[in-house]
Structure 1
Amino acid sequence: MPAEGAGFGHHACLYGTDAEFLAMAVPFVRDGLAAGEPVLAATTPANIELLRGALGERAHALDTAETAYFGRRPVERISAFLRYHAHRARPGLRTRMIAEPVWGGKSARQVAEWKRMESGLNVLLAGLPVWMICPYDTRTVPGDVALAACATHPARLDGQRLIPCAAYADPGAYAATVALPPAPVPADAARTGPTASLARVRGFAHERAVAAGLSDERLALAVLAVCEAAGYLLAADRARIAVRAWEEPGVLAYELLRAQAADAGVPVFAGFCPPGEAAGAEDGLWLARSLSESLELRSRGPLTRLTLRIAGPRDAERLSPPCPFP
């Protein structure tokens, strides 16, 4: 197994058989446990069973999680990674994670969001003493997803052999090329602004959520998500935003558009990491991401466009089970 530095290591593993998965996973886990490092395997139940069987008595020291429940959305997934590291980190040692994404059954929008997250991890977790391997089962993942693995990871593991990914792309540039499925704003979408008044945005968000049939807690959380996103955009000097809202099947969508004379863009991966001990400028944006089904943020020159989608009243509650690492 290749030696790694002190910072974040992020590698893919493309496997097509159980034996190929174990050829990567067993040495990775075994070497970590032998060094006293915390090791997590967040993968499929079948792979967890295979890995435990191959490790024998050493399997008791391995932390495991079913990957389907280890963060349903990118913002939840990143929080789960950080919680595990914070809970299990040991001074002077790195943390090892096998983190297999779930691709089956995802919509085109969700697949695009997860591709962007895989790339974003290289920025969001940079400097963290974590070595992460992301396995991709080529028997089940779509072909474009397998190709994307080599663009979102600096290298891949073939058994114990580390192979640089020639297709690896700068995360910011890569994220800009991953297009989400088009969802044109209806011509009759309700709108307000431009305005610098958060109270006006709150009133508009509440009015549209009520009109869409949201009530009680879901109504309050929808308004909170919009206001936190708006607050982030309005924090820029002399900022004003226009807001539009419309309904799509199963969701209520809001678009916030900020235009300024000077370039006041936002970081590509802003708001993906949970708040730290000290208040940060992106804390509200993280909350908005956490409360939304999806949140897309794009900047081009002086224009910043933020689109968030909130589950509609007739959509079943889709809450992830709690992370096993508080």
Structure 2
Amino acid sequence: MSTGAQAKGGFTHVAVLYGSDEEFLDAVVPFLAEGLAEGQPTLLGVEPRLEGLVREALGDDADEVMTLRRAQQYERPLDALRRNRDLFAAHAAAGAPTVRVVGDVPHPGVGVPWDGWVRYEAAINHFCAELPVMVLCPYAENAPDSVLADVQSTHGWLALPGQEYRPNPHYIEPATFLSERADCEVAPLERRRPDLWLENPALAHARHVVGVLAANTSLDERSVSDLVVGVSEAVTNAKVHGKPPVLLRAWVDHNRMAVAVSDCGSGPRNPFAGLLPDEGSRSQGGLGLWLANQLCDRVTLAVTEEGFTAYLVIGEPPPVEVGGSPAGSR
């Protein structure tokens, strides 16, 4: 597939690995220039140094490229998912046959937690599936191996030298990817004895004890407050939409806290529940899960033979260190 082609079904999600500024520009500049030549909306959302290089290479045409402000567009993963989906849909509704986007997603190689962003990379394939959008995602080759493995799993297309793209044989459908990742994230928690265990807690009591336990960590006041509200939403969902008994467990480290709220029901039917505010119905607790996702650093939904569990995490482990310079800096 050349840069002028597009995958059947609308959304084309391309990963490109680069080892130098020159390789970055070789992939990005022709992609944007072709969009500009065809009169397509062309958007750029990369870190400032790389944006400057791209605009310099494009010359006078750079004025036609719209900037995605990273401080706003890529501050929180689910905010970015909602904003980008709405932005792409608006261009499509205005009659754009194709929208071209270049965006470098934050990751541990640049000191940013990856949990939320890998969900973004997977979920955008679902939420934008019918939109006429081509997204080119540049990743530096010295990004952590775990990030590069996830890139392989969440992008349907891979960039080749010479502005050619090929289908990615390692791509995993979003629902499957998110479900498998949830299983991997939950396992370490379940192996450790919880610091808190409550069965059928009253809502006020659940909020109180989680707040007291979180106060013993180094988490700031806002993070503790966000976790308490997120837990409140999860407990309410379990009581209203699940099946008793409702079980609340919590695990605490000095700079991190995880809470699991379980019931014996089957959980939301929609595997993407809670990722966007209009996904799922109020009757299935979709809005509560969406609010929890906005407040917590990570929300993982897990369905087992025993029932449904929502895991909520505030605080993150130390960022992954990368040998040499940070990923993306050359």
For the superposition of Structure 1 and Structure 2, which TM-score range results when normalised by the shorter chain? Answer: 0.7 to 0.9
What CA deviation, in whole Å up to 9, does each residue of 1:287-319 have, x standing for no partner?
21111122222222342222212249xxxxxxx
Q: Distance in 1 between matches of 2:165 and 2:225?
A: 49
Contact 1:192 1:242 in 2 (8 A): yes
Runs of 5+ unmatched residues, structure 2: 317-330
Contact 1:124 1:269 in 2 (8 A): no
Contact 1:67 1:99 in 2 (8 A): no
Q: Which residue of structure 2 aligns with residue 286 of structure 1?
A: 290
**CA 1:191/1:230 → structure 2, altered by over 3 Å: closer, same or farther?**
same
Q: Which moved more, 1:284-293 or 1:204-213?
A: 204-213
Report the Cα offset of residue 92 of structure 1.
1.8
Mapped pair 1:43 → 2:49 = no
Contact 1:264 1:302 in 2 (8 A): no
SS in 2 for 1:23: helix
Report the Cα offset of residue 215 of structure 1.
8.4
Report the Cα offset of residue 39 of structure 1.
2.0
| Residue from 184, 201, 205 that aligns with 2:206 | 201
Q: Which residue of structure 2 aligns with residue 224 of structure 1?
A: 229
Q: Which residue of structure 1 aligns with residue 122 of structure 2?
A: 119
Q: Which residue of structure 2 aligns with residue 189 of structure 1?
A: 195
Report the Cα offset of residue 200 of structure 1.
4.5
Mapped pair 1:81 → 2:84 = yes
Report the Cα offset of residue 80 of structure 1.
3.8
Contact 1:150 1:168 in 2 (8 A): yes
Report the Cα offset of residue 248 of structure 1.
1.2
Q: Which residue of structure 1 aligns with residue 326 of structure 2?
A: none
Report the Cα offset of residue 56 of structure 1.
1.0
2:158 aligned partner, one-letter code:
R
| Residue from 11, 25, 34 that aligns with 1:22 | 25
Q: Which residue of structure 2 aligns with residue 258 of structure 1?
A: 263
**CA 1:215/1:136 → structure 2, altered by over 3 Å: closer, same or farther?**
closer
Structure 1 length-normalised TM: 0.78
Runs of 5+ unmatched residues, structure 1: 313-326
Q: Which moved more, 1:227-236 or 1:93-102?
A: 227-236
1:152 aligned partner, one-letter code:
T
Mapped pair 1:297 → 2:309 = no
**CA 1:237/1:243 → structure 2, altered by over 3 Å: closer, same or farther?**
closer
Superposition RMSD on alpha carbons, in Å?
3.3
Mapped pair 1:152 → 2:154 = yes
Contact 1:189 1:245 in 2 (8 A): yes
What CA deviation, in whole Å up to 9, does each residue of 1:215-247 have, x standing for no partner?
875554332121123333444254542112232
Q: How many residues align?
A: 306
| Residue from 79, 83, 98 that aligns with 2:102 | 98
Report the Cα offset of residue 69 of structure 1.
6.2
Structure 2 length-normalised TM: 0.78
Report the Cα offset of residue 209 of structure 1.
4.2
1:192 aligned partner, one-letter code:
L
Q: Distance in 1 between matches of 2:171 and 2:223?
A: 40
Q: Distance in 2 between matches of 1:95 and 1:77?
A: 17
**CA 1:214/1:44 → structure 2, altered by over 3 Å: closer, same or farther?**
closer
Work out the percentage of aligned pairs sharing the same amino acid. Answer: 28
**CA 1:182/1:122 → structure 2, altered by over 3 Å: closer, same or farther?**
same
Q: Which moved more, 1:284-293 or 1:66-75?
A: 66-75
Q: Distance in 2 between matches of 1:24 and 1:120?
A: 24
**CA 1:33/1:228 → structure 2, altered by over 3 Å: closer, same or farther?**
farther
**CA 1:51/1:270 → structure 2, altered by over 3 Å: closer, same or farther?**
same
**CA 1:130/1:284 → structure 2, altered by over 3 Å: closer, same or farther?**
farther
Contact 1:38 1:89 in 2 (8 A): no
Contact 1:265 1:302 in 2 (8 A): no
Q: Which residue of structure 2 aligns with residue 323 of structure 1?
A: none
Contact 1:68 1:102 in 2 (8 A): no
Q: Which residue of structure 2 aligns with residue 173 of structure 1?
A: 176
Contact 2:223 2:314 in 1 (8 A): no
Q: Which residue of structure 1 aligns with residue 4 of structure 2?
A: 2
1:289 aligned partner, one-letter code:
N
SS in 1 for 2:290: helix
